[in-house]
Amino acid sequence: MKPVYFDSAATTKVRDEVIDAMTTVMRNDYGNASSTHSFGRSSKVLIEKARKTIAKRLNVSAGEIVFTSGGTEADNLALQCAVRDLGVTHIITSKVEHHAVLHTVQQLEKTYDVKVSYVKLDTDGLVNYADLEHLLQTDGKTLVSLMHVNNEIGNILDIKRVGNLCKTHNALFHSDAVQSVGHYEIDLQDIHVDYLAASAHKFHGPKGVGFAFIRKNSGLKPLIFGGEQERGIRAGTEATHDIVGLEKAYTMAYDNLEKESDQVLDLKKYFISELKNAFPDVTFNGLSGNLEKSTYTLINVCLPLPPEKALILLFQMDLKGIACSKGSACQSGSSKGSHVLTEVLCEDDLKKPSIRFSFSIYNTKNEIDYVISVLKEFVE
């Protein structure tokens, strides 16, 4: 069996068409977009075309899209600058956010003496909207930061509902949408979001490039200082080839969204069915086993195994050529367990092995069959 890749929530395979588009730019359009000569203007045209492509799909103006090095920078840009420039004194977030948000918020709490509140979660890790509304009824400038799709357990936030609550209470709303952009239609005229983060490598684009949506007239100043690139919001020479790669991946993701999401959802359904057949006591962490309330791109599985076997399961999977994850890739090298699972699992279940399998259009049911066979062999 050739190596099997079930870790697309960590990063996706780059589409061949994206590689071709990037290679063409690197070969032919190598001018600095800030230069006024023809080589520079050629690069500038490509960047602005990509900006308009992204903005049109999100139903916003091109000037509200700022290219970044990825989701982490986009999150930091919104969170740090909102506190520094807009006088935010209260941040409401959750304990199951990505560390790009959690660690930034913790640093802001230390540096600016910002009050941080963590919204209550239900037993599946879903935001308690009544508690969120309660937390919003406080004095001072408030910013809410809640992710659209959780990268570990796949829970989907009712982003429109949260946006409306924030609007009602005059709070700013930031959402890490790294796991949803390219996988779901998002209309930012319909949804009240002030800041949103996205990353190309989550939807078959290149690593090292993403974008921030920043609502116009936000008042934010740069996080990175230098030149006047990105309308003065983000200094640094733009990586034209990466931005074009992002645009190509973004366009293909949405042009093929219905067909490809159905294809991936079918894989998820099949995986869940086969796991239940093979392991009747299997459980799914968060809402990842719920086809209606979680993303179609991943499942997080808790296997009924003793702790001593839990320690070597992921190693065994790797030996068999299977790529998967015990949590987010950003922390997989850590000796600490998943902070998300710590919030949603009981103490006994935390001792059992939990694995995140995440899918893409490049996976097959034959690969799922192979994974099930390896798991059965390991358990037996």
Residue written as token pair 């560390």: 99
Residue written as token pair 């952009």: 181
Q: Phi/psi zone of residue 61: left (φ > 0), alpha (ψ -120 to 50 degrees), beta? A: beta
Judge contact between 216 and 63, C-beta under 8 A.
yes
Q: Phi/psi zone of residue 63: left (φ > 0), alpha (ψ -120 to 50 degrees), beta? A: alpha
Burial of 302 (0-12, 13-18, 19+ CB in 10 A): buried
Active site residue 330: yes
**Distance between CA atoms of residues 342 and 329, nearest Å:** 16
Q: List the one residue out of 288, 361, 293, 294 whose CA is nearest residue 325.
A: 288
Judge contact between 265 and 296, C-beta under 8 A.
yes
Residue type, 274: E
**Distance between CA atoms of residues 66 and 303, nearest Å:** 42
Instruction: Provide Rg for the chain, Cα atoms.
Output: 21
CA distances (Å), 95 to each of 16, 77, 99, 305, in order?
37, 20, 9, 27
The phi and psi torsions of 21 (rounded to 5 degrees) equal -65, -40
Q: Residue 350 is encoded by which pair of tokens?
A: 């935390």
- Where do runs of H (alpha helix) occur along 256-356? 257-278, 307-319, 339-344, 347-350
Q: Which of 166, 302, 324, 330 is catalytic?
A: 330
Give the catalytic positions in this structure.
330
